[in-house]
Structure 1
């Protein structure tokens, strides 16, 4: 926890799950409003260049060897950790009139991963998190920062853990193609930097949220050509690809019900994905079967004994509502509020880091653009 001023408790009514059941908060179905691609060099592309098509592997392709080409993988560079919101801000810059003027401006801007992190917080007992927040022109920008705990764990990662991460990318390569008329190309090295992202808008408890989310692929028998300036994407059917260990031991099954099912549900719920395709793998990195999982089934089949969708959604709602209150008088693109969650104590504390510091994360080009927009827009 940084800052000269003493850390304060965030003041939420609850962080750990409440004893009694709570109703699901009012939320609109997330609507995709735009897209962008990130190429193999982590450069922003205002196009659908990285859009992929889901192609279910044929029976003859099993088992899928996730170790194939492992020594040729092009890993995401360390510099990607410093990108923060930059790609999403570039999208906002390109569409600023449509997003900030022609429709109600977003009250919150972030990536889906951060929203999922918040939704899972009531049940998190192992991993701390740190979130930096800036409020400028009545929009609150949120970005996750790496904790010392996470940095240490990353430095101690075993080769098996690193392989598991790469296996997920290789599984995607087995299932995704550049065209609905082509089979997936599994001979090329996997480039973990490439991404296709959608930008979503939703309303949660009356608050406008805008967030970017990396998407795996779509189901379509015909090629789709998306126009960056006039996106028509609400009718596309996206799917999520996952791998998991086979439930050969009871602890594997329990871990899935307690942790993975919750993460998968929150992640898919936030982008309106209804279907997941899961590769069931062993410890050696071979996928022997493919499982179709409906998002709506994830909170069931025993998972309901470990977590509740309404708790996840309500925590996100009350956290964002509290952010609005705490930053109500703030209009500075550089001042940062740092929120730190201690997973062992279940507490969230915050400090204010005023002015332009090493913690400020909105780039000058974006700040200047939004300032000009507000100056030239009649109120």
Structure 2
């Protein structure tokens, strides 16, 4: 028995939208059918257009497979079994029209050549006007506790305080006590979906409160019908967008994503196979140690409470320098000698020396200075400045100090009078220096790294015409969070580690590869500050440097192998726009695979059917029962 030859790959497969009954491939055509075939170019359809049902082949001819009917943008699922494909085909939309490039409208025919591919080259087509990018805004945040449980709060938000480089800072400390989450558990985007549920619940509570309030006018009525913050074209984690943005300059880093369309939003997750997770478990000891160094650097840079709540050194410890100086005694007839008070009071020189000592914390005070805390909890200036130089808290303090000085001038012999005590109390408030022996600061040097702890922000932004909701891990913040409408993203800080640069070649590699990823990770959620700890091969932190996210592109511009932010942003915008044209089946059980890999020529979007569905049941139930406006 002879078998039909395989389909010629150079010929596009005929794809028809309307379903029809398909006789078995062994059926033979009648003479009437053959006669009709000779009269019309499209047998069985009166020559009006492409046939809508399969016609058996002529006797003696090779048997051809029946046409495949797909939705617009859906690639032929060659790998699907017949029963599964028949079930999916019944769910596909029918009689959909589209506008072709030449202005005609008709049935869409797809091929595996380019309709579902996003080629990388030429990159010059992305070097045009940059797609508009909207400033990200935080719409929520959540935490993971020590057991990796989801909590809708900011309990795991840490606060940045620079490490003391005068002390040993080896990142291998407590490596034997390292606690890491189970890499074999695929968390998908479950936590991000749970966060959206909580945000939607909060929205509906606020809307219900507004409905119960007496109307104040037309503006109040408009607020009732505002769109939900949880509605966007795309929902994913930051890592997905970072991979896409960096692809033009990281061509040989393969990745795979999964996408599904539900209620108008495309949800995307990163695919990580079991084999890949097992490889991560079986990484060599050196790679595991270097991975630990990154988490350890976060531990020695973070504290669990704001800087304003750290313990302060009281001015009483410097009481001698605060008491008024007296003219040196000459009763004995000897020469004037400096008193103990004048020895301690070195004036501006002593303060300058103290500033130089504090400079040893980091590479540059101007880069790492943090606002100090006034007595009312507000910040201004720098921690070092607060620790070494007096400042007046308010005009009342200035008046009190002036009055105290006048009293001291009138009562030089009464060095322990009430006026001097008041003066010391004021100096305590003005010269309160952070106590570096505070257990909050010393305890982090002995801290245990536990990667189950995590704090994430949920931010909303827009690139081009594509609105995005992203979840992003946040390492720490420089300021306590304030209630809405304040946007806390501007205070968040990204912490990174890198090997110390010792040559021009290493600097070029750092700027071409690491700075690209540092910039992309911080640019997408709107994090303005990146602090990098440079370490040696033994894991000792030798330098801490601060980078401003928006200044990084300018620092690498014009250098050898430099990357272009316009290319990165336009590449991401182009792929997202294509996905909105391809991922069109609005069904949480239907998924698509987005693949970038060898031969690294184009990103492919492949229809995956009902495999790898990842939206949780609780999310689907909540969204189906939602009463919020999603338009």
User: Under a length normalisation based on structure 1, what TM-score does the superposition of the two structures give?
Assistant: 0.88
Using a 3 Å threshold, how does the CA distance of structure 1 residues 43 and 3 change in structure 2: closer, same or farther?
A: farther
Aligned to 1:321: 577
Residue in 2 aligned with 1:335? 590
User: Does the alignment pair 1:306 with 2:562?
Assistant: yes
Bigger Cα displacement from structure 2, 170-179 vs 203-212: 203-212
Give me the whole-angstrom Cα distance separating, in 2, the residues matched to 1:166 and 1:378: 43
Query: Is the partner of 1:94 in helix, strand or coil?
Result: helix
Instruction: Please point out which of 58, 63, 71 is paired with 2:176.
Output: 71
Pairwise mapping of residues 135-174 of structure 1 onto structure 2 (< 5 A)? 135-146=261-272, 150=276, 154=280, 157-174=283-300
Contact 2:476 2:492 (C-alpha < 8 Å) held by counterparts: yes
Q: 1:73 to 1:20 in 2, by over 3 A?
A: closer
Question: 2-side partners of 1:139 and 1:258: how far apart?
Answer: 34
Change (3 A) 1:378 1:240: closer
1:317, CA displacement in angstroms? 0.5
- Partner deviation per Cα, 1:202-241 (whole Å, 9 max, x = no partner): 1111221000000011112xxx3677xx785437511111
* Residue 4 (1) aligns with residue 79 (2): yes
> Equivalents in 1 of 2:591, 2:271: separation in Å?
12
- Partner SS, residue 298 of structure 1: helix
Q: Distance in 2 between matches of 1:49 and 1:279?
A: 25
Q: How many residues align?
A: 367
Q: Which residue of the other structure, out of 181, 187, 200, is the alignment partner of 1:83?
A: 187
Q: Look up the match of 2:607.
A: 352
Considering fraction of residues, name the structure with more helix: 2
2:135 equivalent to 1:29: yes
Which 10-residue stretch deviates more, 89-98 or 19-28? 19-28
| Match of residue 509 from structure 2 | 255
Tell me by how many angstroms 1:254 deviates.
2.4
2:534 pairs, out of 250, 271, 280, with 280
For 2:629 and 2:113, locate their aligned partners in 1 and report how far apart those are by CA, in whole Å.
Answer: 37
- Higher RCO, Cα 8 Å, sep 6+: 1
**How far does residue 200 in structure 1 lie from its aligned partner after superposition?**
0.4
2:494 matches 1:240: yes
**8 Å Cα contact 1:339-1:351 kept in structure 2:** yes
Cα distance in structure 1, aligned partners of 2:146 and 2:506: 34
Judged with a 3 Å threshold, the aligned counterparts in structure 2 of structure 1 residues 141 and 291 are, in CA distance, closer, same or farther, namely: same
Select the residue among 342, 367, 377 that pairs with 2:620: 367
Give the secondary-structure state (helix, strand or coil) at the position aligned to 1:31.
strand
CA distance in 2, matches of 1:378, 1:193: 34
Are the counterparts in 1 of residues 197 and 619 from structure 2 also a CA contact under 8 Å?
yes
The worse-fitting range, judged by mean Cα deviation, of 67-76 and 291-300 is 291-300
Residue from 514, 518, 524 that aligns with 1:270: 524
- The 1-side partners of 2:580 and 2:117 are apart by 13
| Counterpart check, 1:38 vs 2:169 | no
Deviations 1:112-146 (A, max 9, x none): 01110110111222221101000000010000102
> Secondary structure, in 3 states, of the residue corresponding to 1:317?
helix
**Normalising by the residue count of structure 2, what TM-score does the alignment of the two structures yield?**
0.54
Alpha carbon RMSD of aligned pairs, Å?
2.7
Q: Secondary structure at the match of 1:12?
A: strand
TM alignment of 1:169-188, pairs within 5 A: 169-179=295-305, 180=307, 181=310, 182-183=440-441, 185-188=444-447
Q: Which residue of 1 aligns with 2:158?
A: 52
Range 98-107 or range 312-321, more displaced? 98-107
For structure 2, which runs of at least 5 residues remain unmatched after alignment?
1-76, 81-110, 205-225, 311-439
1:152 Cα deviation from its structure 2 partner: 7.6
Structure having the higher Rg? 2
Question: Cα offset for 1:350?
Answer: 2.3
Deviates more, 1:310-319 or 1:20-29: 20-29
